[in-house]
Structure 1
């Protein structure tokens, strides 16, 4: 049985990076006013392209969006979130910067935050459970 067209939502797979500095601060980025979910904070990343793995996506997207090269240490559990017009499967990775200096190409702003300040921001809804799970991993 198929669903009526009105119930079908576009599903987008996205990789995101929880970039941790040597002093354990977390990089967060603010979406620009012209992006969907304007001015919301998020972990940087982007859509997985055809024939691309989530790991390849995050390296490519971070280079494109932030002008830095990263390495990954861990993959966290994926999060599925349903927005009004689309659904997102968010695949988070814990990363660190290997080379480069941050230069924003799409976002309005970035911040380095202490983990205890992460949940104080106005987050894109899909990123909230990622932030919460990351914080739980620190308490183990």
Structure 2
């Protein structure tokens, strides 16, 4: 099982950043919260800050952590560790994903999410009391 972090990045208007995987990535064109695999010796928080800088060219501040989700795909398994964050520096520059959107939380479930992200979305919405 691979430990993977993800960022639920919220802007001052309360919108959430979502990213679409590129056609060449595993789980092509699925939507997800950006992030990536932990490297040896990294904490989840350090991993997420590094991954977001690498993928989106922005600096984030972690505000809180949500419960993780273990998910088994047919050919790999992950432990997805989510954090609620905000951007503190930079402008988004896609380096791996095909597109990104800022969305109001009440439309998040309308996207075609990567399966491991679905419980993360649900937990986030529950934390906001959004149905």
CA distance in 2: counterparts of 1:111 and 1:99, whole angstroms: 18
| Count of residues in Structure 1 that have an aligned counterpart in Structure 2 | 130
CA distance in 1: counterparts of 2:105 and 2:5, whole angstroms: 20
2:118 match: 128
1:77 match: 67
Q: Pick from 74, 79, 83: which aligns with 1:89?
A: 79
What is the TM-score of this pair, normalised by structure 2? 0.98
Does residue 107 of structure 2 align to residue 117 of structure 1? yes
2:27 match: 37
- Which secondary structure does the structure 1 equivalent of 2:74 belong to? coil
1:106 match: 96
Write the deviation string for residues 94-138 of structure 1: whole angstroms up to 9, x where unpaired: 000000000000000000000000000000000000000000000
- Which secondary structure does the structure 1 equivalent of 2:8 belong to? strand
Moved over 2 A (4+): none
Q: RMSD value over aligned CA atoms? A: 0.8
Larger Rg: 1
